[in-house]
Amino acid sequence: MTELLRQAYDPDTFRREGHRLVELLADYLTHIRQPDSPEKVLHHVTPDELYERWQADLATGPHPQVSDFFEKILHDTIHMHHPKYLGHQTSNVAPMAALAELLGGLLDPGMGVYEQGTSGVALERLLVKELALTMGWGENSEGFLTSGGTLGNLTALLCARQVMIERDVWEHGFEGRQYGFLVSSEAHYSVARAVNVMGMGSRGVVQVPVNQHFQMETDQLESCFRKAENDGVKIIGVVASSCSTATGSFDPIDEIADFCEAKNLWLHVDGAHGGCAVFSKKYRHLLRGIERADSMILDFHKMLMTPKLVTAVAFRRGEHSYQTFNQKASYLWDKDEGREWFNLAKRTFELTKSFMSVRVYALWRTYGPELFAENVERLFDLGKTFARLIAEEGDFEMPVSEPECNILCFRYLMKNWSEEKIELVNAAVREALVREGEFFIVQTKVQGRLYLRTTLMNPLTTERELTGLLKKVRELALGFVD
């Protein structure tokens, strides 16, 4: 073996650098949570500047010490554990899950087939079964984990396509027929993308309007269904958003399930963000009816504190999960036709995928599902608190003033401002916030209008940071007007 290879696999170096890294990260977690910590959420740099900085770094390598690289990465990466991080809806990772990821990352078995995945494969099934039981599904339910909600939605809808269309689409294609799904106009774009990827075209997504709370208007399902069928689109299923991405609105699953049962349609629940409410006694009413769905997805890497990416894809009737793909790969498993729950790649889009179950299981085993419940309740409650604080100010507007979860949109405005001015000022506020780096929030369009958008992902965020954000937004907005 060469000296370089020996160094790359040296256990003592790993031990030394590993201890240093854990110290670095523990210090980061300690400092970032202090009230009025001078630490920024983000050290803003333009993409080109950052690229050039790393280009220069590479040109001076190789560097024998990895720890200064880790420190630089810590500096140049957004600090999602900061209580003033209020932006994109991906998880605030619990340290125990990160440690489990280190374990999974070093052992790193592929999860496609049992002979390599072993424990990871067993944990996947166990986790999805537990989730299914929590949703009120029976022992017959089945599922697996996959890399992200986008892929999860595609996988579940591929299954719906295979089960609901009487001919074998996998083998013969659509043979000139047009099929479609009824989907709320507020659904995440990954649903439309999945339908397009499946070759159903843009007519494959039939939009159902939403009410003033941005929830699917279930009274309109019948007319949308009829219109689609008159236009030659055979509807095979409905997708419920739990919740929508922009405003955090939950479609009424129970009412959608009534419709699906009456028409014999597949019901898929996109619970990427809000499916986590199932763990909470206080908020599981938002998912009332989920026990009637045919499939659902849930991102553990959103509200459930796990590093990206871990998405559960679950099927109420486990046998459906075996129908999605129909390919033979005899070098991987002995019996092509057999329903072997443990050879996951028979049912997942991916073959090799990371040891994702270990991240979720470490949390579940250490703290119990109560941890998930408490995080959901803390963050959904915080959403309500923030809405109250905004309403008390008087010079802000919200598209949804009674949020159902931890996603909240708002904007600053004065009475005489035009729509154009409101948008210009709020877009400038958001840009200034990101450049300054004290707070991090995002922006979105709600029914064509620009809003600032917060997702409260950090249980360490308190009223203090939320009040501070409103003060800062006002200051910046008024600064742009002068």
Per CB under 6 A, residues contacting ligand PLP are 89, 148-150, 153, 188, 190, 241, 245, 270, 272-273, 299, 309, 311
Smallest gap from Cβ 89 to ligand PLP, in A, equals: 6
What is the per-residue DSSP string for 79-94?
-TTSTTB--SS-----
Task: Pick the closer one to ligand PLP by CB: 284 or 301.
Answer: 301
Task: Pick the closer one to ligand PLP by CB: 113 or 151.
Answer: 151
Smallest gap from Cβ 190 to ligand PLP, in A, equals: 5
Question: What residues form DSSP beta bridges with 240?
Answer: 269
Task: Pick the closer one to ligand PLP by CB: 190 or 343.
Answer: 190
Task: Give all strands of the β-sheet with 311-315 in edge-to-edge order.
Answer: 142-146, 311-315, 295-299, 266-270, 234-241, 179-184, 205-208
Task: Pick the closer one to ligand PLP by CB: 214 or 333.
Answer: 214
Smallest gap from Cβ 274 to ligand PLP, in A, equals: 8
In the block, which residue shows the tokens 């070759």? 199
Smallest gap from Cβ 285 to ligand PLP, in A, equals: 19
Smallest gap from Cβ 189 to ligand PLP, in A, equals: 8
CB within 8 A of 451, min separation 6: which ones? 399, 409, 410, 411, 426, 443, 444, 445
Task: Pick the closer one to ligand PLP by CB: 32 or 194.
Answer: 194
Sign (positive or negative) of CA dihedral 463, 468, 471, 473 = negative
Q: Left if phi > 0, otherwise alpha if psi is -120 to 50, otherwise beta: which for 396?
A: beta
Task: Pick the closer one to ligand PLP by CB: 94 or 113.
Answer: 94
Smallest gap from Cβ 150 to ligand PLP, in A, equals: 3
Task: Pick the closer one to ligand PLP by CB: 204 or 271.
Answer: 271
From the CB of residue 366, how many other CB atoms can be counted at a distance below 10 Å? 12
| Whether the Cβ atoms of residue 284 and residue 309 lie closer than 8 Å to each other | no
In the block, which residue shows the tokens 């405003």? 247
Which residue, 467, 471, 453, 341, is CA-closest to 408?
Answer: 453
Residue closest to ligand PLP (Cβ) = 149
What is the per-residue DSSP string for 443-461?
EEEETTEEEEEEE---TT-
Q: Specify burial of residue 21 (Cβ count, 10 A radius: 0-12, 13-18, 19+).
A: middle
Smallest gap from Cβ 273 to ligand PLP, in A, equals: 5
| Whether the Cβ atoms of residue 204 and residue 179 lie closer than 8 Å to each other | yes
How far apart, in whole angstroms, are the C-alpha atoms of residue 382 and residue 95?
22
Beta strands in 279-353 (DSSP E): 295-299, 311-315
Beta strands in 70-157 (DSSP E): 142-146
Smallest gap from Cβ 275 to ligand PLP, in A, equals: 9
Smallest gap from Cβ 311 to ligand PLP, in A, equals: 6
Q: How far is CA 381 from CA 20, 118, 132, in A?
A: 37, 39, 25
Task: Pick the closer one to ligand PLP by CB: 147 or 343.
Answer: 147
Task: Give all strands of the β-sheet with 442-446 in edge-to-edge order.
Answer: 396-397, 407-412, 449-455, 442-446
Task: Pick the closer one to ligand PLP by CB: 91 or 343.
Answer: 91
Question: What residues form DSSP beta bridges with 235?
Answer: 180
How far apart, in whole angstroms, are the C-alpha atoms of residue 86 and residue 454?
5
Task: Pick the closer one to ligand PLP by CB: 32 or 376.
Answer: 376
How far apart, in whole angstroms, are the C-alpha atoms of residue 305 and residue 302?
7
Task: Pick the closer one to ligand PLP by CB: 353 or 472.
Answer: 353
Smallest gap from Cβ 153 to ligand PLP, in A, equals: 6
Which residue, 212, 214, 193, 195, is CA-closest to 204?
Answer: 195
Task: Pick the closer one to ligand PLP by CB: 241 or 321.
Answer: 241
Smallest gap from Cβ 49 to ligand PLP, in A, equals: 27
Task: Pick the closer one to ligand PLP by CB: 44 or 308.
Answer: 308
In the block, which residue shows the tokens 């019948």? 222
Smallest gap from Cβ 157 to ligand PLP, in A, equals: 12
Smallest gap from Cβ 12 to ligand PLP, in A, equals: 38
| Whether the Cβ atoms of residue 107 and residue 309 lie closer than 8 Å to each other | no
